[in-house]
Amino acid sequence: MSFQHAIAETLMITGFVFVMMLLVEYLQVRSAGLVGRWLQHGGVVRTAVVTLVALVPGCLGAFTDVTLYTHGMISFGALVGAMIAGSGDAAFLMLAVAPKAALGVFGLLFVYGLLVALLVDRVGGARFYRGTACPDGITLHEHELSGQPSLFRPPRLRDVSWPRAILTVALALFVAGVALGLLGPGQWSWVRWILLLVTTLALAVVMTVPEHFLREHLFAHVARRHTPRVFAWVLGVSLCMAGLDAAGLPVATWIGDHRALALAAAVLLGLIPDSGPQLVFVTLFAQGVVPLSVLVTSAVVQDGHGLLPLLAESPREFVKVKAVNAAAGLVLGSAMMLLGW
């Protein structure tokens, strides 16, 4: 991989991740009220819904489940399963660089997370949060969910704010880059059509959502907080691998001969409550450096920023969840590696 190719690939990946984050943020806020109604079910159905919520790319699904746990609405096992299923921002990157593999990994994470959740509750009993629960319950910001303008009804030009203008221009440039073949596939294919479709939808969202939602969720949260970090991690890994390739160092061969060390690294780095470490493993998997077993292990143990609210509320509960997930990741990853994956 040349340095020029690494930069172009980073721009394409970051753009796609930004678009998907933007759309997921919009859909999750719009449908926030559904979670409470779904959780009226019990047993396997309830646990499956909680796991499915965390599976949604990004950290909001995991944040939702942590909030439900600290409010005494879901069990410890359900939270463990949810954190196994959730991958934070790394899920967006998986969809960008290896969409087919990503769908398989997501399906495996859901099934495995659900099984571990049921097992934990069965063995240890369905215990609930033992810290100090919030007495006010879960508050939904209804003002963000009502009064949304109709799709494709942009504000008047004189009323366009600078955050909306910046996001609109950035998305328009990304659409042009994809359409001209400067970013993404060089030939017309289903991948290019998908990129154009989702980016056009994101552009419609940016042009029509209320100003508060655009500033607080799309600009401050997605554009300013998450996107630069994704860009930095992907570019750093890509440039590093390009440099190692240029130097003729057999990194892929070394990792292939020491897969157990790569697996252990995936477990240890997954304990960090951040998506950054897994972005490394996703990028290396897409480049054929690490096997699927290492990617899955990292995905099981790592949960993005999802557990940070729990760390703030109860460090002891945080450690317990991470310990169970590390063991679960090591078991599944080792089994997959023994099978040659």
pLDDT digits (tens, 9 = 90+) for 127-179: 776 655 444 444 444 444 444 444 445 556 666 788 888 888 888 888 888 88
Higher pLDDT, 275 or 203: 203
- Please report the pLDDT score of residue 90 as a whole number: 77
DSSP secondary structure letter of residue 258: -
pLDDT per residue as tens digits for the range 59-89:
667 766 776 777 677 788 888 888 888 877 7
- Please report the pLDDT score of residue 242 as a whole number: 66
The answer to whether residue 191 sits within a structural domain is: no
pLDDT per residue as tens digits for the range 247-281:
666 555 666 666 788 888 888 887 877 666 677 78
Mean pLDDT of 222-237: 74
3-state secondary structure of 58: strand
Q: Is the pLDDT of residue 225 over 50?
A: yes
The answer to whether residue 136 sits within a structural domain is: no
**CB 40: neighbour CB atoms within 10 A?**
9
Confidence of residue 95 (pLDDT cuts 50, 70, 90): confident
What whole-number distance in Å separates Cα of residue 107 and Cα of residue 292?
14
Q: Count of residues for the chain?
A: 341
Tell me the CA distances in angstroms from 40 to 5, 52, 126, 254, one per residue in order: 50, 15, 16, 51
- Please report the pLDDT score of residue 41 as a whole number: 47
- Please report the pLDDT score of residue 118 as a whole number: 87
> What mean pLDDT value characterizes the chain?
75
The answer to whether residue 295 sits within a structural domain is: yes
Higher pLDDT, 151 or 245: 245
Amino acid present at 310: L
| Containing structural domain, residue 247 | 3-126+209-338
Q: Is the pLDDT of residue 229 over 50?
A: yes
Q: Is the pLDDT of residue 114 over 80?
A: yes
The answer to whether residue 144 sits within a structural domain is: no
Q: Is 53 exposed, middle or buried (0-12, 13-18, 19+ CB in 10 A)?
A: buried
**What contacts 255, CB < 8 A, 6 or more positions away?**
262, 284, 289, 290
The answer to whether residue 39 sits within a structural domain is: yes
Nearest Cα neighbor of 50 from 26, 29, 76 is: 76
280: its two tokens: 């490394």
The answer to whether residue 202 sits within a structural domain is: no
Contact 266, 81 (CB under 8 A): no
What whole-number distance in Å separates Cα of residue 118 and Cα of residue 72?
17
The answer to whether residue 151 sits within a structural domain is: no
What b/e string do you get for 184-207 counting C-beta neighbours within 10 Å, with b at 16 or more? beeeeeeebeebbeebeebbebbb
Q: How many domains does the chain have?
A: 1
- Please report the pLDDT score of residue 253 as a whole number: 61
**CB 1: neighbour CB atoms within 10 A?**
15
Task: Give one DSSP letter per residue of 193-210, joined into a string.
Answer: HHHHHHHHHHHHHHHHS-
- Please report the pLDDT score of residue 136 as a whole number: 41
The answer to whether residue 142 sits within a structural domain is: no
